[in-house]
Structure formats: structure tokens, C-alpha cells
């Protein structure tokens, strides 16, 4: 489940097309659509891919008919939840560019941890042969790698570590369960200490 490095340089990856979810045009329909995506993400994370669609609709505050109008099949819902997570991950990269290089990368990486949790919950049910799924890898690297390169250029991140190294490490660490949120934060902090360049002496 670890992301694979796409071919090309970080600059080329940054130019890759962003993943975008097709949402309804009407404002009320869009609100329902986004509420369903958020509810589905949470319910799948809690109960797995066999979770009740009725529960997803209830948490989103809509009827089951609205869910089926937006997502005719369970597969449509799985794939759109995943694409929505990638879309938000790419958007998060845009939102941290004004932060100091290391801080911006860490904020984005924390969002990657959330994305990884959603992906693990529904991975076996995704259509991994689709072009959209394959493009997600390039989109993630295109969003996050420039942030890491910027942190390296600022002397905040180790020069002997690659972006791919970091994602593999974080994906592996967060694949296990934690006692509580504090332990998760502590483990993530230990990992980041290994990536951050330490002052001489």
C-alpha cells in the first residue's frame, strides 16, 4: 500500500494534473455530496467496507435515496471517497506554502497520515486498475515532494533522505494501531525527529 515514486523529477511531478472529484453544480446538492463523503470516510474507518450505507446517510443528514442518487453503487462510493482524500491532500499542499518550510511539510504530512488511514480502510475495495487510481500516485508526489524539497533547501530536512523514504516510513508506522491519539502523535514525532536536520553540535 505504500505509494510508488512516479518517474521524473520533483518539478515534473508538481506539474502533474491534480485529482478532482466531480461534484454536483447546485449548492445544496454539493453540500449533500460533501456531507456524504465525509460521513462515508468516517464510517468506513470505524466499521470497514461492509459498513451500513444507511448509517452513512444518517450521519450525513440525508435520506438513503440521496446517497444512491450520488453514488449508485457501493463501488462508486469507495472510489469517490478515495479520490476525495487525494484531492484534499493536494489542496493541503497549496494551503501550507506560506508557512516556514519545515512547518509546512509537517502540516502536510499530518494530513497524509489521515489519508493513509482512509486508504487502508477501503484499499481492498478500490478499483486499482482505473486510470484515476493510478493518477493519484503522481498527484500525491506532485503535491508533497516540492514541500519536502523546500524544507531540504532551507536546511531543515536531512539531505540524505528522499521524499519516498519519508512516505514509506510514515505509511509503515501508521499502519499499526495505537493505544490512543497521544501515542500516535508521540510516534510520529519520533519519526520526524529522524528526518529533521539537527544543528551541528
Mean pLDDT by 10 residues, the chain (201 residues): 41 49 86 94 89 95 95 92 92 94 96 88 83 86 96 96 95 82 90 87 55
pLDDT (0 to 100) of residue 119: 87
pLDDT (0 to 100) of residue 16: 42
- Grid cell locating 17: 494534473
pLDDT (0 to 100) of residue 59: 96
**Bridge partners for 196 per DSSP:** 157
pLDDT (0 to 100) of residue 72: 93
pLDDT (0 to 100) of residue 120: 85
pLDDT (0 to 100) of residue 154: 96
Phi, psi of 157 (to 5 degrees): -120, 150
Check the CA dihedral 135-23-77-82 and report its sign. Answer: positive
Q: What domains can you pick out in the chain, each with its CATH number? A: 20-72 (1.10.10.60), 82-201 (1.10.357.10)
Check the CA dihedral 140-143-146-148 and report its sign. Answer: negative
pLDDT (0 to 100) of residue 18: 62
- Grid cell locating 113: 497520515
pLDDT (0 to 100) of residue 47: 87
pLDDT (0 to 100) of residue 139: 92
pTM of the model: 0.81
Amino acid at each position: 500500500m505504500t505509494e510508488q515514486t512516479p518517474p521524473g523529477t520533483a518539478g515534473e511531478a508538481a506539474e502533474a494534473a491534480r485529482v478532482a472529484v466531480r461534484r454536483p453544480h447546485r449548492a445544496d446538492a454539493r453540500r449533500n455530496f460533501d456531507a456524504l463523503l465525509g460521513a462515508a470516510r468516517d464510517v468506513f474507518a470505524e466499521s470497514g467496507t461492509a459498513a451500513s450505507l444507511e448509517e452513512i446517510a444518517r450521519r450525513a443528514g440525508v435520506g438513503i435515496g440521496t446517497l444512491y442518487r450520488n453514488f449508485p453503487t457501493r463501488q462508486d462510493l469507495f472510489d469517490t471517497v478515495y479520490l476525495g482524500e487525494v484531492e484534499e491532500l493536494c489542496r493541503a499542499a497549496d494551503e501550507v506554502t506560506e508557512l516556514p518550510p519545515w512547518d509546512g511539510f509537517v502540516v502536510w504530512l499530518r494530513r497524509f497520515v489521515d489519508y493513509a488511514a482512509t486508504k487502508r480502510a477501503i484499499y481492498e475495495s478500490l478499483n486499482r486498475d482505473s486510470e484515476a487510481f493510478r493518477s493519484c500516485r503522481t498527484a500525491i508526489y506532485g503535491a508533497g515532494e516540492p514541500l519536502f524539497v523546500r524544507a531540504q533547501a532551507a536546511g531543515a530536512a536531512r539531505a540524505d533522505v528522499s521524499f519516498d523514504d519519508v512516505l514509506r516510513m510514515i505509511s509503515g508506522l501508521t499502519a499499526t494501531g495505537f493505544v490512543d491519539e497521544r501515542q500516535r502523535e508521540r510516534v510520529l514525532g519520533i519519526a520526524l525527529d529522524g528526518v529533521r536536520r539537527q544543528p551541528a553540535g
